[in-house]
Amino acid sequence: MTVITRFAPSPTGRLHVGNIRTALHNWMFARANGGKFVLRIDDTDPERSEERFVDAIRADLDWLGMTPDAEERQSARFALYEARFAALVASGHVYPAYETTQELDLKRKIQAGRGLPPIYDRAALALDDDARAKLEADGVQPHWRFKLDHDSAIAWDDLIRGAAHFEAKTMSDPVIRRADGSWLYMLPSAIDDAEMGVTHVVRGEDHVSNTALQLQMFAALGVTPPRFAHEALLTGAEGKLSKRLGSLGVDHFREVGIEPQAVRALLARIGTSDPVEPIADAAPLIAGFDFARFGRAPARFDEVELAALNARILHTLPFEAVAERLPEGMDVAGWEAVRPNLVTLADAADWWGVIEGPIAVEGDIDAAYLDQALAVAGEIDWSSDPWHALTARLKAETGRKGKALFLPLRRALTGRDHGPDMAALLPLIGRERALERLAAR
């Protein structure tokens, strides 16, 4: 069996961090099992679906390194839905219902007043052909419901949640098609999963009840259902479901300087028993992917943790991975010198400016010490390790050590009190610029 997973967003907006996590885990599971990862654009709602969002979804997945193996569009599959729908109507698994939204709301209010669950009463099934014909003659168009088998329990072995169980008689027959003929999510999704050979569906735990309903749809279609894995939902740093999570997406991450590797490394592990680590390469993350490691407690997404992880990953990236985005002129030596001090890649330009100058020196200047440093700097050998040659001579001549020895030099040479290792920076600054900076007052 070839493992096939799918990520099925609706192109009605940009992907947010929760969507990205779902896509990532579907992609990782497919890759871990030598399978296929499919992007399915669920664009059955023509009024809300926009092509610009389709393009954005593709671009976001590409940026994250999760380019799909195939893409499908639900809007191109309507003929298939019509055929399966007609067969389900003929077999009695789907039936027309004529209540308006207001009438259904009233029914639910009456049920609530009686302390009853808000389950559809199947009044539409009591209508005979003449009653239905009269309603349609009066201009009432039906919506369509899937008829659940109330005599059977619904059970499956969830890859994360374990044994799951629902009583069909406690659930309403779901509406699968609106009166205007447009499709709701449930049936087309089940049809597509069956027709596309999807073997595993990874999605949020808010879909658990949908899975229960869709399992009966798979049975009515006469197909074997996929395996399901329902993940705990993401929460914000405060431990609650956060509206902000719905606004955090690839555009935001790029804007604040987060690398795709950091997004992957964090979302691959939060909610599992594995530690979040600065793993830039997707391969070890994929190799260790296992639903048995996922917990049922909400997964906590923290932007501060992501930023810290981003810095740690930057500190591991080779020059080749970032060369195209570095400041003009920065080479391997420059990258390796500044890399340990970066929080985002944009900081590299700041440090390259420190190296190439000009710089501004603020704060106290130890003029006499810098005069002595200027004289020594003009005499040392700059061909190998000028920083240690400079500081060794100054330490011997002045008796200075520690902060008193190093800080005035760092400040005069970089304009900063902190930063990358001066042994790496000074050769890049070079003899002429270093002498100019030590001579400046």
The one-digit pLDDT tens for each residue of the chain (441 residues) are 899 999 999 999 999 999 999 999 999 999 999 999 999 999 999 889 999 999 999 999 999 999 999 999 999 999 999 999 999 999 999 999 999 999 999 999 999 999 988 999 999 999 999 999 999 999 999 999 999 999 988 999 999 999 999 999 999 999 999 999 999 999 999 999 999 999 999 999 999 999 999 999 999 999 999 999 999 999 987 766 677 788 899 999 999 999 999 999 999 999 999 999 999 999 999 999 999 999 999 889 999 999 999 999 999 999 999 999 999 999 999 999 999 999 999 999 999 999 999 999 987 789 999 999 999 999 999 999 999 999 999 999 999 999 999 999 999 999 999 999 999 999 999 999 999 999 996
C-alpha gyration radius of the chain: 31
Please, which residues have CB within 8 angstroms of residue 167's CB and are 6 or more apart in sequence? 153, 154
pLDDT given at position 238: 73
Among 44, 39, 42, 36, CA closest to 71:
39
Q: Give the phi and the psi of residue 152 in degrees, each rounded to 5.
A: -120, 145
Q: Tell me how crowded residue 29 is: count the other CB atoms within 10 A of its CB.
A: 22
Domains and CATH numbers, the chain: 333-441 (1.10.10)
HEC profile for the chain? CCCEEEECCCCCCCCCHHHHHHHHHHHHHHHHCCCEEEEEECCCCCCCCCHHHHHHHHHHHHHCCCCCCEEEEHHHCHHHHHHHHHHHHHCCCEEEECCCHHHHHHHHHHHHHCCCCCCCCCHHHHCCHHHHHHHHHCCCCCEEEECCCCCCEEEEEECCCEEEEEEHHHCCCCEEECCCCCECCHHHHHHHHHHCCCCEEEEEHHHHHHHHHHHHHHHHHCCCCCEEEEECCEECCCCCCCHHHHCCCHHHHHHCCCCHHHHHHHHHHCCECCCCCCCCCHHHHHHCCCHHHECCCCEECCHHHHHHHHHHHHCCCCHHHHHHHCCCCCCHHHHHHHHHHCCCCCHHHHHHHHHHCCCCCCCCCCHHHHHHHHHHHCCCCCCCCHHHHHHHHHHHHHCCCHHHHHHHHHHHHHCCCCCCCHHHHHHHHCHHHHHHHHHCC
Q: Is the peptide bond before 174 cis (omega within 30 degrees of 0)?
A: no
Query: What angle in degrees, to the nearest 10, is found between the helix axes of 386-398 and 367-377?
Result: 130
Using CA atoms, how far residue 386 sits from 243, 357, 422, in Å, is 54, 19, 10
Strand order in the sheet with 175-177: 94-97, 143-146, 175-177
pTM as predicted: 0.91
395 is in an annotated binding site: no
pLDDT at site 241: 65
Q: CA 250, CA 248: separation in Å to the nearest integer?
A: 7
Identify any residues that bridge with 5 across adjacent strands, giving them in sequence order.
Answer: 37
- In terms of DSSP bridges, do strands 143-146 and 94-97 run parallel, antiparallel, or are they unpaired? antiparallel
> What span, in angstroms and rounded, lies between the C-alpha atoms of 412 and 356?
14
C-alpha distance across the termini of the chain, in Å: 74
Structure tokens at 34: 């030598």
Contact 158, 164 (CB under 8 A): yes
Q: What is the Cβ-side half-sphere exposure of residue 402, based on CA atoms within 13 angstroms?
A: 1
Query: Greatest CA span in the chain, whole angstroms?
Result: 110
User: What is the predicted pLDDT for the residue at 145?
Assistant: 98
